[in-house]
Amino acid sequence: MKRLELLLVILLTLGAVQGSVYGFILWRKNSINTLANRFIATILFFFSYLLIVELLKFFDIGFYDTWYHFLLEYNWIYGALIYFFVKASVVPTFKLSFKRDWIHFLPVAIEFVWSNFIKSQNFFWDGSRESLSWLGYYGYIVWMYYPTMFIISALLIIYYTYQAQKLLNSTEYEHFEILYDKTVWIKRLLKVLRWFSIIVIDFVLIDLIFFDYAFNRWYHYPLFIGMALITYWLGIEGFGKRNEHIIKTKTVLSAKEKEQLQSIAEELKRVMVDEKLFKNSDLILLSLSKHLDVKSYLTTKCLNTVYKMNFSDFVNSYRIQELRQLLNNPKNDNFTLLALALAFDVGFNSKASFNRAVKKLTGRPTSGLKLNN
């Protein structure tokens, strides 16, 4: 075995082993996200299976031998599994139902049946075209000599990652809400899988159109290395995030509570805009609540429910808004010298807290403050 092939075997083996190990852990582990974790585990199992099948080919196993008929493709199942993983993560009432969800697994059922049919043609083929039926001959050509299964698999992944993205971005859930800061890694996963699928389609189509599918081995192994790396990363991320709460139950308020919180919200806005309490660097939740003459827990509930912010972010948002107005004043042109001094004037008590607040609430460094909202 050449050194390059040995390196490929090692990389694919590591991906397959790691995916299998983490898959078993995530499947057996009882946690708050058991169903979602089991979908990740299933994805890892199928990824590992595909890597193992590819590994066996290095040892001439699966090339028109007995194993050829047992090592079947399941490329069309990944998209549905990814979608159900996200759905199980963000919809607490979700349970997989064959009666309702069978349509999502129809592609892999078709792939399974068709793959068996195509591989069975080897029992009838005697080297001549006439030994096969019309469907068997052209089906074999389309399935085995063209990248049909890979293109359809990639398209399914692209479709389902977009559907999963819609679930993550939805704000229409009545009784619960998504903690978006906890979904960053899932969005990253969807993006990685989507772009990986786009790259696969681009490579096989370029090869098919311009080179008559003659150079598929040139990118064949790099693509499987990419899958091994994705498997390795997904296992680590899935294991690390297996117990994270991604959703929380919405607070259901009575009409009287809504009216009370709305009244507090208006008073909060007034004391910030008119009295500029945010300029007090020692301002805390207790002192603000006393100023409003309400209980601290009601102030917190108002901030969380009406403004969707915690106390620090709420106060810092007014400080940043005030600072922007000061910096956009023509007489304050020297941003570098004045920014920090003005930050103290609007209520920040340290350079570190100023930098953190600006980055968190605006997504920009402090140098971007002079830009208008």
Where residue 358 falls among pLDDT bands split at 50, 70, 90?
Answer: low
Q: What is the pLDDT of residue 336?
A: 46
Q: Which CATH class is domain 255-370?
A: mainly alpha
Q: What is the pLDDT of residue 154?
A: 94
Q: For residue 337, is pLDDT > 50?
A: no
Q: What is the mean pLDDT of the chain?
A: 82
- Looking at residues 167-193, what average pLDDT do you find? 81
Q: What ranges do the domains of the chain cover?
A: 3-249, 255-370
Q: Tell me, yes or no, if the two domains 3-249 and 255-370 fold the same way.
A: no
Domain formed by 3-249, architecture: Up-down Bundle (1.20)
Per-residue pLDDT tens over the stretch 83-100: 999 999 888 888 899 889
Q: What is the pLDDT of residue 338?
A: 45
Per-residue CA distances from 188 to 22, 78, 159 (Å): 19, 16, 16
